[in-house]
């Protein structure tokens, strides 16, 4: 599959020239331990530039811990993480964000006492955006999520679950990510809202944003991704094109109800 090269901004149109995919993120032998418990044992994966790549598996398999390790939010016990050719294994979280690797956390993590607008503006903090640049990005986020513009002056804590997920994604976009990490964006949301969220992810990818999606909703994740990995008890056990994984008997039996 030939994928277009991604632009430097998530809010800019995708470059028109078609080029073969290259590894934007490469993970080799990643392991994470909480005391004597190995939450992630061996994870090797590649996220292609311009693609949606997904990591799927059951609850407790190590998906969220993998993302936290990539973001520098938990210490790695071993392995190597390379982003855009640079070894970022030991970098602090704010330095990882500054390089364009931005995570939307599980549970959305909105600051409930701040307004919607204030939450969004915090997303631009890491790049020290000027007022004009920040306002331009806000306009683009509001164009993508009109409901956030309607609620911009209200407290984020008054938003519905779906609106808070929109806010969390919008805040991450304000950091102008090159690769967006999403942890369980469908969690706790009604089916119609889940469809809206996944349509938004497709649109972002169509505009050129590379996405690494961690998701327990295996069917939805594999439907929008081009490449998929299956993790079980802290290890990658399957890796293939997402369409092939959808038809894999092992995946069907374990995650898709046969």
Residue range 221-245: average pLDDT? 97
DSSP state of 156: G
Expressed in percent and rounded to 5, the helix, strand and coil fractions of the chain are: 35, 25, 35
| Predicted local distance difference test score (pLDDT) of residue 227 | 98
**Domain boundaries in the chain?**
23-104+177-255
In sequence order, which residues have a C-beta less than 8 Å from that of residue 211 and are 6 or more positions away?
51, 52, 53, 179, 180, 182, 201, 204, 205
Tokens of 244: 């092939």
Helix (H) / strand (E) element for 121: namely helix 116-122
Q: What is the chain's mean pLDDT, rounded?
A: 90
Fold of the CATH domain 23-104+177-255:
Rossmann fold (3.40.50)
Residue range 139-162: average pLDDT? 94
In tens, the pLDDT along 5-42 reads 333 444 544 444 456 678 999 999 999 999 999 999 99
The span from the CA of 100 to the CA of 122, in Å, is: 15
The span from the CA of 94 to the CA of 100, in Å, is: 10
The span from the CA of 170 to the CA of 153, in Å, is: 15
pTM, entire model: 0.88
CA 236 to centroid of chain Cα atoms: 18
**CA–CA distances in Å: residue 92 to residues 8, 68, 69:** 21, 12, 11
CA 184 to centroid of chain Cα atoms: 9
Placement of tokens 């028109």 in the chain: 16
In tens, the pLDDT along 155-202 reads 999 999 999 999 999 999 999 999 999 999 998 889 999 999 999 999
| Of the candidates 65, 135, 48, the residue with the CA atom closest to the CA atom of residue 105 | 65
Placement of tokens 């936290």 in the chain: 68
| Predicted local distance difference test score (pLDDT) of residue 129 | 64
* Residue 206's pLDDT band (cuts 50, 70, 90): very high
In sequence order, which residues have a C-beta less than 8 Å from that of residue 37 and are 6 or more positions away?
none
């Amino acid at each position: 599959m030939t994928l277009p090269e991604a632009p430097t901004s998530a809010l800019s149109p995708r470059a028109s020239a078609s080029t073969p995919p290259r590894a934007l993120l490469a993970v080799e032998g990643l392991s994470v331990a909480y005391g004597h418990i190995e939450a992630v044992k061996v994870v090797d994966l590649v996220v292609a530039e311009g693609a949606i790549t997904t990591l799927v598996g059951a609850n407790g398999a190590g998906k969220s811990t993998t993302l936290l390790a990539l973001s520098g939010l938990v210490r790695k016990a071993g392995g190597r993480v390379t982003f855009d050719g640079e070894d970022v294994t030991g970098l602090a979280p704010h330095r990882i964000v500054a390089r364009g690797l931005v995570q939307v956390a599980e549970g959305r993590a909105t600051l409930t006492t701040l307004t919607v607008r204030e939450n969004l503006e915090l997303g631009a903090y890491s790049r020290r955006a000027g007022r004009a640049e920040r306002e331009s990005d806000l306009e683009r986020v509001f164009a993508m999520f009109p409901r956030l513009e309607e609620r911009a002056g209200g407290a984020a804590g008054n938003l519905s679950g779906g609106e808070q997920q929109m806010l969390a994604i919008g805040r991450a976009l304000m950091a102008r990510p090159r690769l967006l990490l999403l942890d369980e964006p469908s969690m706790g949301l009604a089916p119609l809202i889940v469809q809206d969220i996944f349509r938004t992810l497709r649109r972002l990818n169509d505009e050129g944003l590379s996405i690494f999606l961690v998701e327990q909703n295996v069917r939805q994740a594999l439907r929008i991704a081009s490449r998929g990995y299956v993790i079980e008890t802290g290890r990658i056990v399957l890796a293939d094109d997402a369409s092939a994984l959808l038809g894999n008997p092992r995946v069907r039996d374990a995650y898709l109800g046969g």
